[in-house]
Each structure stands twice: as structure tokens, then as C-alpha cells.
Amino acid sequence: MASEDTRIAIVGGGMGGLTAAIALRKIAGVQATVFEQAGKLGEVGAGVTVAPNASRVLERLGVLDRIRRVGAVPDGHGVYQNAMGALVTDAAWEDSAKQYQNIGMYRPDLIDALAQEVDPATIRLGHRLVSVETLGSGVRVEFENGADDVFDAVIGADGIHSVVRGAVGQFPEPVYSGYIVYRGVVDASRLPGDWRMISQVWMGNRRHFMCYPLQQRKLFNFVAGIPSDRPLDGAWSGPAAVGELAAEFAGADWDPKLQEFIGRIEHTFWWGLFDHEPLANWSRGPITLLGDAAHTMLPHQGQGVNQAIEDSMALATFLAAADSVADIPEAFRRYASVRMQRTAILQNGSRRAGAMFDAQYEFADLEKRDADLRVGRDFRRSAVFDYDAQKVAEQALNRFQGVPVA
């Protein structure tokens, strides 16, 4: 940006919002203000995977080394297995150059690693957004606590229930997948000493169970997808009894090793799995969206957080090329035009991946399911993990500006 005095508000202090704040400062030279509705920065204590496509961004933002120090890099490829633990295919959780691998992260650790790169003076806690209004010059934001301010631009990183999304004229209905997940972490000291330090997925009977290491292998994350018709009109998540989870994977049809892992779980929560259809538009004037606010997706490809990180780099790249505040709406429009197709593909791909894991629809034929998983391994590496968000944005910027692209 031409001026460091440009005022940009980021609504949402989660992983996407914090990464956006870092990228705006380091790539575009803008010190944004981050508004978070909670009284402190934090995330529910479960795991998330930082994938190679996001690691590439985080390295350029100067935070990847810190993330690696507090995360867990697996010993090698993950595995997809049938219910009894027989190998279906390995999962190549790395880019083609083998420069980046998946990093298992405890969500509070990832928030902390990102927050250390953001000036605390720019973070406003306890600010729940209630309205966004475009003025003749700037955007007014108002909060439940009575605070209000006017900014040159607003970025909505406020999740699936985004308030900012309404300001760009998008009101998607959440789509329930028909599944809930049980989530949580297990202290690695409770597991057998020879437990594999990789990602493992068991698939069978229209459900699946996944686990992988976190926090320098001190913890293991687990996620179990279960078909459910429980009413979700109210709460979308809550505490659950471990016995409920254990019953879903009981009996002779399931791997005793998986049952042993479940037997070491002390606490779990359930979440309803929702996404929404790809939006028709992300931006309106000096307002745009990022992360789940723009593209809520199911977790089955592990790309929700990683796409928010890609968004952050792309957005900062386009803003860096804006000459003045008056150019921000066009920068936002260009950003959205580049990112919308990428994330729509991954939203749909996440639905398809869940259908594969749980043998739904056309994947009820397990031979076809397993063959598609094997093919998908190489596709995921090339199409998802090798993606360079900054390079793609720079190439698009050249096209917009009429510069020949080699």
C-alpha cells in the first residue's frame, strides 16, 4: 500500500484472522486491527494439520520455524486402513519436492505461535461484531460492547456464522452433512510404546476414525466421523461420553488396536459437521471475506485452516499492489476472483473425501473406494500441496495489469 496509515479491520482473531494480520504487515505494509469476540485468544483444544501448501506461506511470513518447534512432524506417510487395520493405501502428506510435510498442531499452540507475530496493541478482545456499514468514505463497524469505529476496509474472518458476510450480500444456509464427529486429544504416554507416529485412518461401516501426533508427539489428536440424525437445531457441539464413541467402534469388525486407542481416551466432545455451498461473491467495495466466512468446508481433506492461510497471502499480495485507499475495492475484487475457484474445488472435494472415507453413495463399492483413494494420493500432492498461493496471486496480478506472464 502507498501509505502505512491505511486503516484495515480484521473481524475474527482465529487462525485465519491472525495470519491475515501478519501477511498484511509483512507483505502489504499495513498494520491491521484485529477484533475478536472472545475475552482471550484461543481455540478448542483439539488438533489441526498445517499442510505443505500452508507451510510454504508460513515460511515466507517467518513463522514456520516456531510452528515446527511446537508441532509434530510424522515419521513418514500416513495410512488409510480398512476397519480391521489392513492397508488400503498410504497417504503422502508432503509436497512433490519433499520440502514440506504435514505438521500436527494443537490448536491453542498454533494460535499462540501466530499471535506472537502480531502486535498485542492491535488486538481488541471482547468485541462481538453486530453491524457493518459502508459509508461514503470507509466502513463503520459496531460492536455489542458499544464500541464503534470507521476503517478504510474490513476483512471478515469471522467463521461460518459470519456477520461480515451479510455485508457483501451473501446469506448461505448451513448444510448439515448427516455426520457428527467426536474430537479430542490423548496424552501419548497413555498409548502403547510402539504406537506409530504417523497419521492413521480406519474406515468401515459408514464411519471412520483418524488419529495423528501433536505437540512434539506428547499428544495424539483423534477425529471420529459417525452418521447421526440427532436434532441439531440448537447447539452444534457439546461434551460427549467416551462410552458413546467406544460403542461406535466396538465388536469383532474393528481393529483391536483402534479399540485399544479408544480405550485410552479420557474426554471427548461432539461436533455437527456443516459446510455451505460456494458463495457467488466474496467482496463488495472495501469489504471482503477470508477463511470459513468465505468457504466453510468439511474437515475431510484437512484444508479449512490451510485455505485461510492461503487466502491471507493472496489478499496481502493484491493489497501490496494497490497504490491508494481508493484502489482497495479493486484489490479485493481481484483477490476474490482468484481464490473463489480454488476454494470451491476444495469445498466439493472435502465432501467427496468424506463420502469415500465412509463408503457413501458411489463409494459403497469398496474396491472402487479404495482405488479412488490410491489415485487421490498423487492428485492431492500435486493439486493441493504443491500450490503456491503467493506465486498464483502474483501471476494473476500481472495478468490484471497486462504484463506478459512467462
Residue with cell 457493518: 132
Q: What cell numbers appear for 22 in the block?
A: 501478519
**Residues found in the chain:** 406
Distance, in Å, from the CA atom of 104 to the CA atom of 196, rounded to the nearest integer, reads 14
Q: What cell numbers appear for 152 in the block?
A: 478504510
Residue 212 is a catalytic residue: yes
Residue among 169, 216, 162, 215 nearest 37 (CA): 162
CA 199 to the chain's CA centroid: 18
Distance, in Å, from the CA atom of 302 to the CA atom of 355, rounded to the nearest integer, reads 15
SS (H, E, C) 108-168: HHHHHHHHCCCCHHHEECCCCEEEEEECCCCEEEEECCCCEEEECEEEECCCCCCCHHHHC
Contact assessment for residue 47 and residue 212, using Cβ atoms and an 8 Å cutoff: yes
Three-state DSSP class for residue 321: coil
Q: Which residues, at least 6 apart from 139, have a Cβ–Cβ distance to it below 8 Å?
A: 9, 132, 133, 150, 151, 152, 153, 154, 285, 286, 287
Three-state DSSP class for residue 352: helix
**For 173-267, where are the E strands, in sequence order?**
175-187, 200-204, 207-214, 219-227, 237-240
Residue from 80, 106, 212, 335 carrying the catalytic annotation:
212
| Residues forming the active site | 212
